[in-house]
Amino acid sequence: MRDTSKRIQKTKDEIANALCSLLETEQYDVITIQEIADSCSVTRRTLYRHFKTKDEILHHCFKGCATQFSTYIAAHAPKDFREFCIVYFSFWNENMNMLSILNKSGIMYRFASEFESLVLMMSSQIGQGDPKANAKHTENSKYKYHFAYRTAGFWHVTELWCQEHPRKSPKEMADIMIEITSFPKDISIIGK
């Protein structure tokens, strides 16, 4: 008996990778389902068997990236905020091509809107601590607000950082993030 789940996952990944490849040169809105199917050498029928819409394919791409991110963070197990910042920017530094594609194809904002919930979901799935504690923690609305604030802030800084030339190192970005989050008394948040 063949393992169809692995084959299905492989086909889904190939379709998603085809979309990512097309995004290197085209805007998301102009890419067609037929182009995606042709790019990965599957029929439209096969593509539609796995994904109902182009947005579902894009979501699969985002989910794959969020899984890689969560796994990377877990593997490096940062012990404090500075270490977390270094690991965070190291991941994106290693995946700068993905950020460039998102930015160039005009879908950076779509990724940001899904990334937060995907990372939260992935981090609980890859075993960040006790699953029961994670479930209780995730249900805590205060934690959700903290997580949303942190990921949105990090994402906006990441957007600026990926557009810099030359780009600051992950360690330099960690120092900047520590400075940003410490809110020194001489910096006005409102801009008086």
Instruction: Encode pLDDT of 74-104 as tens digits.
Output: 899 888 888 988 999 999 999 998 888 888 8
- Residue 102, C-beta contacts closer than 8 angstroms, at least 6 positions apart: 23, 108, 111
**Can you tell me whether residue 161 is helix, strand or coil?**
helix
Residue 84 pLDDT: 87
Asked if residue 108 has pLDDT above 60, the reply is yes
Compute and round to an integer the Cα radius of gyration of the chain: 19
| The pLDDT of residue 100 | 86
pTM: 0.75
What are φ and ψ of residue 38, in 5° steps? Answer: -60, -40
Please give the pLDDT value at position 123.
55
Residue 119 neighbours by CB distance under 10 Å: 18
At 129, the pLDDT band (50, 70, 90 cuts) reads very low
State how far the alpha carbon of 153 is from the alpha carbons of 19, 95, 101, 176, in Å.
28, 19, 21, 13
The Cα–Cα gap between 144 and 70 comes to 17
> Given this model, what pLDDT does residue 49 score?
94
Top-confidence range, 37-41, 145-149, 183-187: 37-41
CA distance 16 to 31: 13
Asked whether residue 134 carries a pLDDT value surpassing 90, the answer given is no
Residue type, 143: Y
- 141/139 Cα distance (integer angstroms): 6
State residue 1's pLDDT score: 44
